[in-house]
């Protein structure tokens, strides 16, 4: 659909941008699978078949098949998935056809096609998550989950402006007068439900590694994993899997709404403080205190999974950090900023460049060396 029919862009998730790359890591994984498959077929060519070429080719073909499957699945999902965007004349769907996805075309739903906007609760084991439900045309439904709707409050405010009569009364509570909003439950992030994401993901490697170490003697007792060449290739794949998981952990969670800091940020009489606790100092260095003069604004927002009240702080370098709502209330009292609807704003902020947190490359390398090189190497030497 031509850009002029959409109008100006009013909202899009912070994690997306105007230029869309639908391929990403899945393409790398798919390409790696093709390389492994080509290498296996090249080795097997003189033998005339895969099984006759030995265990090395068997391992290469099996791993290439797994990489091709998961890489291809990821490619399909990435190409057919679009970010939820809101324009002057409507919103875009999050799923499109494969052809439209290849072309990067969005599918616009105009405001006059909307029938109803409400909140739908989905029970997941012992807790309930909330999704934004948009009914359009006759019975078509768009259900937005938390990763598709990272900033519900902004979306609710735009929908109130565009389709006020189509909104459910429950949505009206979140964007109503302040005396009504004050009665809504607040989200309280803690260290337990907001751990340092890379550390959490890397710790998942421990049971994986231990299961491999314990499983090798069992496999050999049944006559499996006896070929030295097979073991060499498997050890290399073992190291690759560890490396892939570790690098994915750091790449995926480096800037994911800075959720790792949310439980730690505190408001002081002079600004905000970010204590770097636990294993944090090992992998990143953090500027401990940001004065109020280097803060642009404190903004109300909703936690995207349960629509509980929380807030965010925008720094002078453009970075945005989610914070607990009690920090927002403390900022209103201590900052002296101008009070506006859903936010307090610094009239004359001091802008600065550079991030307040940087990766500690030495610590990252130590973790990488211990988990991805030393541990697989010790297993290889021991067995």
**What's domain 84-181's architecture?**
Roll (2.30)
Please, where are the H alpha helices in 52-164?
55-80, 98-103, 152-162
Which pLDDT belongs to residue 236? Answer: 62
CA separation (Å) from 65 to 56, 71, 238, 293?
Answer: 14, 10, 16, 55
The encoded tokens of residue 290 equal: 């940001």
Domain segments of the chain as ranges? 24-80, 84-181, 186-383
Residues in a beta bridge with 81 = 95
Q: What are the backbone dihedrals phi and psi of residue 20, each rounded to the nearest 5 degrees, phi first?
A: -110, 130
**Cβ neighbours for 355, distance < 8 A, ≥ 6 positions apart:** 317, 319
> What is the distance, to the nearest Å, from the Cα of residue 270 to the centroid of all Cα atoms in its chain?
32
Query: Burial code of 23-36, b = ≥16 C-beta within 10 A, e = fewer?
Result: eeebbebbebbeeb
Would you put residue 154 in left (φ > 0), alpha (ψ -120 to 50) or beta?
Answer: alpha
Which pLDDT belongs to residue 302? Answer: 92
CA-CA distance, 132 to 112, in Å (whole number)? 18
The encoded tokens of residue 47 equal: 């033998």
CA-CA distance, 107 to 77, in Å (whole number)? 16
Residues in a beta bridge with 131 = 120
CA-CA distance, 223 to 14, in Å (whole number)? 53
Which pLDDT belongs to residue 256? Answer: 41
CA-CA distance, 253 to 12, in Å (whole number)? 20
Residues in a beta bridge with 144 = 132
The gap between the terminal CA atoms of the chain, to the nearest Å, is: 61
**Cβ neighbours for 354, distance < 8 A, ≥ 6 positions apart:** 317
Which pLDDT belongs to residue 193? Answer: 40
**Cβ neighbours for 377, distance < 8 A, ≥ 6 positions apart:** 239
Can you list the pairs that 338-345 forms with residues at least 24 positions away whose Cβ atoms lie under 8 Å? 342/153, 342/157, 342/299, 342/300, 343/297, 343/298, 343/299, 343/300, 344/297, 344/298, 345/296, 345/297
Match 């030995």 to its residue by tokens. Answer: 54
CB atoms near residue 256 (< 10 Å): 12
pTM of the model: 0.71
Residues in a beta bridge with 107 = none
CA-CA distance, 92 to 96, in Å (whole number)? 10
CA-CA distance, 206 to 372, in Å (whole number)? 11
Which pLDDT belongs to residue 239? Answer: 62
Mean pLDDT (10-residue bins), the chain, 383 residues: 71 67 72 84 67 65 84 87 92 92 89 94 82 92 89 94 93 89 81 47 58 59 59 61 62 47 76 70 74 93 90 89 86 84 91 79 67 58 55
Yes or no: say if 86 and 10 are a contact pair by the CB < 8 Å rule: yes
Yes or no: say if 322 and 302 are a contact pair by the CB < 8 Å rule: no
């Amino acid at each position: 659909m031509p850009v002029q029919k959409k109008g100006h862009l009013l909202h899009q998730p912070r994690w997306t941008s105007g230029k869309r790359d639908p391929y990403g890591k899945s393409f790398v994984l798919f390409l790696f699978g093709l390389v492994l498959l080509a290498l296996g077929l090249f080795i097997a060519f003189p033998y005339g078949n895969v099984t006759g070429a030995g265990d090395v080719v068997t391992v290469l073909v099996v791993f290439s098949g797994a990489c091709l499957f998961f890489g291809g699945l990821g490619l399909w999902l990435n190409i057919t998935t679009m970010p939820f965007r809101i324009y002057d004349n409507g919103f875009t769907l999050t799923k499109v056809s494969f052809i439209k996805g290849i072309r990067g075309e969005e599918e616009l739903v105009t405001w006059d096609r909307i029938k109803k906007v409400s909140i739908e609760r989905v029970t997941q084991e012992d807790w309930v998550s909330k999704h934004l439900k948009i009914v359009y045309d006759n019975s078509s439904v768009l259900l937005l989950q938390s990763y598709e709707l990272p900033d519900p409050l902004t979306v609710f405010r735009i929908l109130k402006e565009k389709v006020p009569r189509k909104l459910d009364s429950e949505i009206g509570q979140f964007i109503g007068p302040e005396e009504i909003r004050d009665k809504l439950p607040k989200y309280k992030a803690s260290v337990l439900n907001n751990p340092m994401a890379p550390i959490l993901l890397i710790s998942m490697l421990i049971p994986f590694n231990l299961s491999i170490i314990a499983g090798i003697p069992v496999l050999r007792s049944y006559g499996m994993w006896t070929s030295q060449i097979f073991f060499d290739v498997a050890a290399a794949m073992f190291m690759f899997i560890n490396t892939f998981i570790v690098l994915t952990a750091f790449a995926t969670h480096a800037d994911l709404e800075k959720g790792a800091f949310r439980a730690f940020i505190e408001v002081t009489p002079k600004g905000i403080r970010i204590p770097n606790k636990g294993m944090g100092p090992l992998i990143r260095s953090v500027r401990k205190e940001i004065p109020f003069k280097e803060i642009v604004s404190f903004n109300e927002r909703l936690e995207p999974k349960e629509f509980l009240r929380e807030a965010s702080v925008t720094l002078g370098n453009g970075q945005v950090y989610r914070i607990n709502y009690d920090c927002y209330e403390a900022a209103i009292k201590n900052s002296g900023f101008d009070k506006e609807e859903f936010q307090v704003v610094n009239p004359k902020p001091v802008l600065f460049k550079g991030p307040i947190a940087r990766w500690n490359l030495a610590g990252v390398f130590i973790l990488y060396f211990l988990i991805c090189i030393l541990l697989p190497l010790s297993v290889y030497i021991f067995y």
